[in-house]
Amino acid sequence: MMDLYETFITVVESSSLSEASRKLHTSQPNVTLRIQKLEKDLDIVLFDREGKKLILNPSGSKLYEQAKN
C-alpha cells in the first residue's frame, strides 16, 4: 500500500503521469494502474479527468495532506 501512496504523492507533486513515471523509474501505464488501484482500494475518486489531464479533486487534496504527514 505504501507504493500506492508514494505514487499518488509523486503524481500530485509532478502534475503529470509521465513525469511521475520518470521519477518513479517505471512506466506511465504502471503509474496509472497504481492510481486506479488506490482509488479502488479506498473507494474514492482522487482526480477529475479531463482527457489525459488529471486534476486533483477535494477528496484527493484531503488524502494528499494526510499522506504527506
- Give domain limits for the chain: 2-68
Helix (H, G, I), strand (E, B) or coil at 15: coil
Question: What is the pTM assigned to this prediction?
Answer: 0.90
Q: Which residues have a Cβ under 8 Å from the Cβ of 62 and sit 6 or more positions away?
A: none
Check residue 24 and give its pLDDT.
96
Is 1 a residue whose pLDDT tops 80?
Answer: no
Predicted local confidence at residue 29, as pLDDT: 96
CATH code of the domain occupying 2-68: 1.10.10.10
pLDDT digits (tens, 9 = 90+) for 9-24: 999 999 889 999 999 9
The tens digit of pLDDT for each residue in 25-58 reads 999 999 999 999 999 999 999 999 888 788 999 9
